[in-house]
A and B are shown apart, each in its own frame.
Chain A
């Protein structure tokens, strides 16, 4: 009897020991996975800086690219990236915020609402290259705009509408229902409530979301190759507001020089462009945070 009990508790103790060991092993594995993500990012950023910093010069950042000889810059590409970004935001933001406000504040559950939701979800999983082909069919072929800044911007608008709508909805969801009820109880109309109460308290997270999406628009490539084109010199001066001119962006330039262009200093251009793109992404992320925090402070006094 006594011996059996001892054997039993021995086995139990062994099991406990094994459980503990599995637990600490798996905890270590999970820690390892998480830390390796941070290491990975630091490594990527460090490596791109290491490659890119020697390339960056005032000349590289401001001069036009060269077709065949070495020594071309990326000035017009940087300009085009910002130009298309601004155009896209002008088109996207009003539509997406209106759509988001409608879905979150007005829409009742029903076939129409779920159809809109379903369309938004499907739109957001369509590969950007497929969207690029659609943009090409409509803006380049059907409208005869050829490769153009506006065609690229409109394609990016379709591509990013669902994401921005989602951001708006999520920002509005963070506003407590009690705010709305309080405002309505004071006799405000639905629109007054949204305009004066809901939007101001959601504006911080909305801004953060928009800036993060702006970063994504800045780096988008696949949808632009066949809509905005791969040249900065067809029928225009390098820096103008021509909506219907070809407008190769920086990210497209990085892809294009690598795979199609004839210049001998491809590696150099690639290293420099990758660094500029990365720095822009970092800037967008940091400014999203700073802006979000500043706006929260200013508007809610927290």
Chain B
């Protein structure tokens, strides 16, 4: 673990130390022009942030809803079908999700008026589906951990099932639900191939939901194969990997914080 951090930090910082590229250019310039010594990664950072935010806004509530259903409402028969269903959704390889996005979603979005069908929206939808299993199972666990007495007390006071869920169960499971969402974010921001297959991979700032762009992970996948060791392109791809690593670590710290403070 420490070796991984050290090695990637070493490779990722080369861009700034050996190649003398300003970290400000890397973080805030929208022009990715490694040949001209100007590898601005803002497009990729924003791309990652946008699709992740989209996935959380769509997949988050949906996943929590299914989590509530499984922990509160599901008849036993249905629960025994849902569990393997979710396990299979976890197991489907990301390239297969990408392939589904490519053959199913891209033509559909093209119908909606986008030129190519590739872009933010397509990637966001694919990611929303991919984070569902993570959010569902963690949300279910969080709600199951709420003491029964709370639920029974609320019902005994005459609250309806939904009032109990909304005003008692969800607040009580707050920290667990926060963790579910954070780990959903972690899954979304690190996904590479499914996104790469549908986002369009053009290093330009997106003008709208339908326009093609790129993300940190997809840029690494797209250009690493052709990058020569020691070039600015090669080094900047490692800086992006380092950035992803730091984001992952920050999210884990956030999970720990949420659990400790009972947020």
- Which residues on A are within 8 Å of B, measured CB to CB? 19-20, 22-23, 26-27, 29-31, 33-34, 37-38, 40-41, 44, 47-48, 51, 118-123, 125-131, 133-134, 136-138, 141, 158, 212, 215-216, 218-222, 225-226, 230, 251-252, 254-255, 258-260, 267, 270-271, 274, 277-278, 281-282, 284-285, 289
Looking at the assembled complex, report how far the CB atom of B246 sits from the nearest CB atom of chain A, in whole angstroms: 10
B229 at the interface (CB under 8 A from A): yes
B28 at the interface (CB under 8 A from A): no
- State A128–B166 Cα separation when bound (angstroms): 36
Whether A219 and B95, one on each chain, are in contact in the complex, defined by CB atoms closer than 8 angstroms, is yes
B241 at the interface (CB under 8 A from A): yes
Whether A225 and B221, one on each chain, are in contact in the complex, defined by CB atoms closer than 8 angstroms, is yes
B21 at the interface (CB under 8 A from A): no
Whether B85 and A38, one on each chain, are in contact in the complex, defined by CB atoms closer than 8 angstroms, is yes
- State A179–B91 Cα separation when bound (angstroms): 33
Which residues of the partner chain A approach B119 to less than 8 Å between Cβ atoms? none
B62 at the interface (CB under 8 A from A): yes
- State A125–B5 Cα separation when bound (angstroms): 13
Whether B238 and A133, one on each chain, are in contact in the complex, defined by CB atoms closer than 8 angstroms, is yes
B143-199 contacts to A, CB under 8 A, are 160-163, 165-166, 183, 186, 189-193, 196-197
Whether A133 and B241, one on each chain, are in contact in the complex, defined by CB atoms closer than 8 angstroms, is yes
Whether A212 and B91, one on each chain, are in contact in the complex, defined by CB atoms closer than 8 angstroms, is yes
- State A133–B162 Cα separation when bound (angstroms): 47
Looking at the assembled complex, report how far the CB atom of B212 sits from the nearest CB atom of chain A, in whole angstroms: 14
Out of B93, B162, B196, name the residue touching A23 (CB < 8 Å): B162
Out of A27, A37, A212, A254, name the residue touching B96 (CB < 8 Å): A254
Of B31-39, B109-117, B203-211, B248-256, the one contacting chain A is B248-256
B129 at the interface (CB under 8 A from A): yes
Whether A29 and B252, one on each chain, are in contact in the complex, defined by CB atoms closer than 8 angstroms, is no
B contacts with A: majority SS: helix
- State A22–B129 Cα separation when bound (angstroms): 27
Whether A34 and B88, one on each chain, are in contact in the complex, defined by CB atoms closer than 8 angstroms, is no
- State A136–B220 Cα separation when bound (angstroms): 13
B16 at the interface (CB under 8 A from A): no
Whether B244 and A127, one on each chain, are in contact in the complex, defined by CB atoms closer than 8 angstroms, is yes
Which residues of the partner chain B approach A225 to less than 8 Å between Cβ atoms? 221, 225
Whether B197 and A37, one on each chain, are in contact in the complex, defined by CB atoms closer than 8 angstroms, is no
- State A27–B166 Cα separation when bound (angstroms): 12
Whether A134 and B7, one on each chain, are in contact in the complex, defined by CB atoms closer than 8 angstroms, is yes
B-side interface residues, number (CB < 8 Å): 72
B224 at the interface (CB under 8 A from A): yes
> What are 13 A-to-B residue pairs whose CB atoms are below 8 Å?
A34-B66, A38-B81, A118-B252, A125-B249, A125-B252, A127-B191, A127-B248, A133-B241, A212-B91, A215-B91, A222-B192, A222-B217, A259-B196
Which residues of the partner chain A approach B86 to less than 8 Å between Cβ atoms? 37
- State A118–B237 Cα separation when bound (angstroms): 27
- State A224–B7 Cα separation when bound (angstroms): 19
Interface string of B75-98 (1 = CB under 8 A from A): 000100110111111111111101
4 more A-B residue pairs beyond the given contacts A23-B161, A122-B248, A127-B244, with a C-beta to C-beta distance below 8 A? A41-B89, A122-B1, A127-B189, A258-B98
A contacts with B: majority SS: helix
In order of increasing CB-CB distance, the 4 nearest A-B pairs are: A219-B93, A127-B190, A23-B160, A119-B1
Out of A37, A125, A218, name the residue touching B82 (CB < 8 Å): A37
Whether B96 and A219, one on each chain, are in contact in the complex, defined by CB atoms closer than 8 angstroms, is yes
Looking at the assembled complex, report how far the CB atom of B106 sits from the nearest CB atom of chain A, in whole angstroms: 12
B245 at the interface (CB under 8 A from A): yes
- State A215–B88 Cα separation when bound (angstroms): 10
Looking at the assembled complex, report how far the CB atom of A45 sits from the nearest CB atom of chain B, in whole angstroms: 8
Which residues of the partner chain A approach B245 to less than 8 Å between Cβ atoms? 126-127, 130
Residue of A nearest to B103 (CB): A51
Which residues of the partner chain B approach A121 to less than 8 Å between Cβ atoms? 252, 255
Whether B11 and A137, one on each chain, are in contact in the complex, defined by CB atoms closer than 8 angstroms, is yes
**Given A221-B193, A277-B95: A27 touches B161 (CB 8 Å cut-off):** yes
Whether A138 and B162, one on each chain, are in contact in the complex, defined by CB atoms closer than 8 angstroms, is no
Whether A221 and B95, one on each chain, are in contact in the complex, defined by CB atoms closer than 8 angstroms, is yes
B15 at the interface (CB under 8 A from A): no
Looking at the assembled complex, report how far the CB atom of A258 sits from the nearest CB atom of chain B, in whole angstroms: 6
Looking at the assembled complex, report how far the CB atom of B229 sits from the nearest CB atom of chain A, in whole angstroms: 7
Looking at the assembled complex, report how far the CB atom of A272 sits from the nearest CB atom of chain B, in whole angstroms: 11
- State A298–B150 Cα separation when bound (angstroms): 40
Whether B192 and A129, one on each chain, are in contact in the complex, defined by CB atoms closer than 8 angstroms, is yes
Out of B7, B65, B190, name the residue touching A30 (CB < 8 Å): B65
Which residues of the partner chain B approach A255 to less than 8 Å between Cβ atoms? 95, 98, 193, 196-197
- State A280–B99 Cα separation when bound (angstroms): 16
B70 at the interface (CB under 8 A from A): yes
Which residues of the partner chain A approach B162 to less than 8 Å between Cβ atoms? 22-23, 26-27
Residue of B nearest to A284 (CB): B91
